[in-house]
A and B are shown apart, each in its own frame.
Chain A
Amino acid sequence: SQQGEEDPQALSIQEGENATMNCSYKTSINNLQWYRQNSGRGLVHLILIRSNEREKHSGRLRVTLDTSKKSSSLLITASRAADTASYFCATWAIQGAQKLVFGQGTRLTINP
């Protein structure tokens, strides 16, 4: 079952603005990952943040992790039309089944 909850489910902003997506999960995790999916395509790995990390940057991406609240956020700064895609968080649990559990995703639209 999907344990990740993401909000918003859909987000539409103007090019140049920042986009923030949130992800909540239920179990204790080893790491949390963010992926991007363009329509009808496979997944592109964006960033992995480990449970002992609080913040991570990669280019225009900034990911935070709050294990006490079991939540993470993905911030895309200075958005571009090419950032239009669905974004998914996925968690890897510390115990139990060794698999990625995906959130429901956020559909991001960047308007030119």
Chain B
Amino acid sequence: GAVVSQHPSWVICKSGTSVKIECRSLDFQATTMFWYRQFPKQSLMLMATSNEGSKATYEQGVEKDKFLINHASLTLSTLTVTSAHPEDSSFYICSASPAGLSHEQYFGPGTRLTVT
């Protein structure tokens, strides 16, 4: 089956620093990748949708300058949390879709971000 990886699986950073999370599709080409965040005991909330080679589409209320998304290749998307604050601490999950099958999403294992 299609496999999506995320790196790192967990990260601790200090307030004011930036942290980059990678999402890779290992055995298929992903034209579309999605980034979600999840607070404890809550559901997933879509942050943004990225298509390879174009700018990401952010959901309402998500600061594009704070959460930088780059989808530079068909197998890699990155999410950079800039000037992180404790309230950015969350579980970040990516998913990837093969070309033409956006409803078919394969999820990464998630990244736990803790900002101290």
**Does A98 lie within 8 Å of B93, measured CB to CB?**
no
The complex places the Cα of A40 from the Cα of B114 at a distance, in Å, of 13
Residues of B within 8 A of A69 (CB): none
Q: Which residues of B contact A41 (CB under 8 A)?
A: 109-110
Residue from B6, B42, B107, B112 in contact with A43 in the complex, judged by beta carbons closer than 8 Å: B107
Query: Does B46 touch A at the CB level, under 8 Å?
Result: yes
Query: Does B105 touch A at the CB level, under 8 Å?
Result: yes
A104 within 8 A of B: yes
A101 / chain B contacts, CB cutoff of 8 Å: 46
- Give the distance in Å from the alpha carbon of A26 to the alpha carbon of B87 in the complex: 30
Q: Which residues of chain B have C-beta atoms less than 8 A from A42's C-beta?
A: 4, 6, 93, 107-110
How far is it, in angstroms, between the C-alpha of A40 and the C-alpha of B109 when the chains are bound?
9
In the complex, the chain B residue whose C-beta lies closest to that of A9 is B41
Contact A31 B103 (CB under 8 A): yes
Q: How far is the CA of A44 from the CA of B108 in the complex (A)?
A: 9
Determine if B46 and A107 form an interchain contact, defined as CB atoms under 8 angstroms apart.
Answer: no
